[in-house]
Amino acid sequence: MEALILVRLKAIMATASSDFVNQSLFQLQAAARLPNSGISETAVNSALSFIESAQPRDEMECALIIRQAVIGNIKTNRSEPNE
């Protein structure tokens, strides 16, 4: 991961840990996986924007916010199309 991106993600996620950032991105990407397709870049970007706007103060708050974003993405990606 590029250094500037990592620095920005650490700031957004209120952490000094690269491992925390990497694991968080893994969770977000897994939740943004579309059925029978790849990862939705829009869903990942939306989740990162959600985290940034929530302004977590530490890793614990960030983890809870990530959980909310993940649940939202999973529900959206697995919902039945409207008839």
Asked if residues 69 and 25 have their Cβ atoms less than 8 Å apart, the reply is no
Task: Report if residue 71 sits inside a domain.
Answer: yes
From first CA to last CA, the distance across the chain in angstroms is 42
Tokens representing 17? 């840990």
Task: Report if residue 73 sits inside a domain.
Answer: yes
pLDDT digit of tens for each residue in the chain (83 aa)? 689 999 999 999 999 999 999 999 999 999 998 888 899 999 999 999 999 999 999 999 999 999 999 998 777 766 645 43
Residue range(s) defining the domain that contains residue 14 = 3-78
> Based on the structure, what is the number of domains in the chain?
1
Task: Report if residue 83 sits inside a domain.
Answer: no
Task: Report if residue 16 sits inside a domain.
Answer: yes
Q: In DSSP terms, which residues pair with 33 in a beta bridge?
A: 39
**Nearest by Cα to 24 from 44, 41, 38, 40:** 44
Distance CA 14, CA 8 (A): 10
pLDDT of residue 79: 60
Q: Which amino acid is at 82?
A: N
